[in-house]
Amino acid sequence: MELDDDEEQEVEAHAQFSAGLVEELNEAPEAALVHYLAAITSDPDNEELALDVVRKLVELRRFDEARQVLDRSAARKEASGLVWAWLGMVHKLQGRPEAAISASKEAIHRTPKNAAGYRNLAQIYLEAGQFSDAVGVLEEAARQPDTDTRFLLLLADALGALQQLKDPSVGDLRPRILALLDRATALNPKDPAEVLRLADLLQLFGEGTKSLPLYQRLLDSDPDLPGLRERLAEVYLRTDNKDKAAEQLRILALQKPTNPLPHYYLGVLALEAKRFDEAVSSFNQVLILRPDNEPIYHELALAHLSHNRPKEALEVLDRARKKFRASFQVEFYSAIAMTELKKYEDAIRHFTTAEVVAAATAPNNLTYLFYFQSGVAYERAKRFDDAAVQFEKAVELKPDFADALNYLGYMWAERGTNLERAREWIQKAVDLEPDNGAFLDSLAWVLHQQGRSAEGLPLQLRAIELVKEPDGTLQDHLGDIYLKMGRKDDARKAWQRSLEVEPNAEIDKKLRDNPP
């Protein structure tokens, strides 16, 4: 077949370009460069080829040669805005901002519906710190009518980069970004890559409910699209649709059994839903896949503790203690487990170690809850003065911590010490939660201990009314208050109601000591 001169030039150009690709694959960039330049020399008016060569030259960081190719292509009367956009980018890469601005403006003039020129110009202004000018360029682009989805997404991306800078001169760009994304959504794009990017941007800028139908549409048309189910699970989690999130995570766990993340999030969801066996199973799977991930030991121990399995929790924590250096979490959870096992001195030992480790490495871990839990261990070990110190630290960190106020006040009232201060602390708890039956019981009891049983009686009756389940302690206290007031029959009835809830030898003795 005979070719005319133009056809021969085109064939030669493509042959040279292909040879350049081969040399590049053979890791011979200099030889590839020779072929790329020969390609465009063979067919200088071929804009598509020129841009392909420029892309390769830019990848090879041969900016001078790229600019020479672009200068020749841009000199043509029919040169498109894309050539000028690339010329602007190369000028920018070579540190020629004025030339880059001029070329980018020409790109916009020649092809106003192509985002490349706007993006270049905005980037130049952005790097120069001229944020308002950058926004102005992108707003000019946004005013273009009848643009396609890709154009709108590129503008939204560029505005998003400016939004991240949080510069006061440009204000809040989110409404403008969302307006672009709404326009893109209205175009009903079909290309999966564009649909995915649109959904991602909506999700990024807090419009999870708008991104969800796009992700679901992709799930129907392209279910194997990489990262799709992960994104869906994230949207469901953020929109508090935990059942749907778990559905996607289970599929991911089956599709990618060696990926620990689906198992981890399934464990978190199960723990929140109090499905403790599921949580333990999921966290164990993560531990198999990532045995060197220390936080998973903590999560697994917490799942066991939440399921009232302190022994199993301690086994996990002991494994972590042998594998990793001392940590606050291991010692703290060990202390909680020992408290549940009623090994209070062991619990105190772990609380002490946790406090030392936290003080040296992460003081923020020493929260009001930490001191409250350690105070409980000291109180149950009958180390009341130490318990008071811990409860006071908890209240110092959180003055409105009603549980600590009540616990310490009741501990003093039960022992008959610091009664006036105990009443003050309990009163603060009652003021914070006036309908808390346990707190009203404490207040009634401290008044009784102070010899003010008549004042405590209505509080005790109100406490019993508020507590939904029958409570033997509250009835016992009521009996003691009645007895102090000389109402023996009422006292006996209250003690008998207490025994109906649970047997108690001390209350039996009270009944024997106070016959009808």
For 344-370, the pLDDT digits (tens) are 999 999 999 999 999 999 999 999 999
> Band of the pLDDT at 318, cuts 50, 70, 90?
very high
> Band of the pLDDT at 2, cuts 50, 70, 90?
low
* Cα dihedral: 253, 254, 259, 261 (round 10): -10
Model pLDDT for residues 150-187, shown as the tens digit of each residue: 999 999 998 888 888 888 888 888 999 999 999 999 99
CA-based max dimension of the chain: 128
- Give the pLDDT of residue 39: 77
Q: Which of 155-159, 211-215, 401-405 has the largest mean confidence?
A: 401-405
Identify the burial level of 298 via C-beta atoms within 10 angstroms of its C-beta, where 0-12 means exposed, 13-18 middle and 19 or more buried.
Answer: buried
Domains of the chain in start order, with CATH, are 188-255 (1.25.40.10)
Model pLDDT for residues 190-202, shown as the tens digit of each residue: 999 999 999 999 9
Is 169 in a helix, a strand, or coil?
coil
- Give the pLDDT of residue 128: 83
Q: Which two tokens stand for residue 168?
A: 């006061």
Identify the burial level of 306 via C-beta atoms within 10 angstroms of its C-beta, where 0-12 means exposed, 13-18 middle and 19 or more buried.
Answer: middle
Low-confidence winner among 67-71, 123-127, 446-450 (lowest mean pLDDT): 123-127
What percent of the chain clears pLDDT 70, i.e. is strictly above it?
98
- Give the pLDDT of residue 6: 60
Model pLDDT for residues 33-47, shown as the tens digit of each residue: 787 778 777 777 778
Identify the burial level of 312 via C-beta atoms within 10 angstroms of its C-beta, where 0-12 means exposed, 13-18 middle and 19 or more buried.
Answer: middle
pTM of the model: 0.69
> Band of the pLDDT at 4, cuts 50, 70, 90?
low
> Band of the pLDDT at 15, cuts 50, 70, 90?
confident
Judge whether 298 and 283 are in contact, CB under 8 Å: no
Q: Which two tokens stand for residue 22?
A: 């081969």
Q: How far apart are CA 406 and CA 128, in angstroms?
A: 61
Q: How far apart are CA 442 and CA 429, in angstroms?
A: 10
Judge whether 502 and 483 are in contact, CB under 8 Å: no
> Band of the pLDDT at 25, cuts 50, 70, 90?
confident
Backbone angles phi, psi at 67, to 5 degrees: -65, -35
Which of 317, 326, 418, 337 is closest to 377 using CA atoms? 337
Which are the contacts of 428, defined by CB distance < 8 A and separation ≥ 6?
Answer: 402, 405
- Give the pLDDT of residue 7: 64
- Give the pLDDT of residue 187: 94
- Give the pLDDT of residue 34: 81
Q: How far is residue 301 CA from its own chain's centroid? A: 21
Q: How far apart are CA 157 and CA 317, in angstroms?
A: 46
Backbone angles phi, psi at 497, to 5 degrees: -65, -35
> Band of the pLDDT at 5, cuts 50, 70, 90?
low
Model pLDDT for residues 471-504, shown as the tens digit of each residue: 999 999 999 999 999 999 999 999 999 999 999 9
- Give the pLDDT of residue 429: 97
The mean pLDDT value of the chain amounts to: 91
Q: Which of 5-19, 24-38, 126-140 has the largest mean confidence?
A: 126-140
In three-state form (DSSP H/G/I as H, E/B as E, the rest C), the secondary structure along 188-226 is CCCCHHHHHHHHHHHHHCCCHHHHHHHHHHHHHHCCCCC
Q: Which residues of 15-53 are buried (b: 16+ CB within 10 A; e: fewer)?
A: ebbebbeebbeeeebeebbebbbbbbebbbebbebbbbb
Low-confidence winner among 24-38, 317-331, 396-410 (lowest mean pLDDT): 24-38
The H or E element containing residue 56 is helix 47-59
Model pLDDT for residues 276-311, shown as the tens digit of each residue: 999 999 999 999 999 999 999 999 999 999 999 999
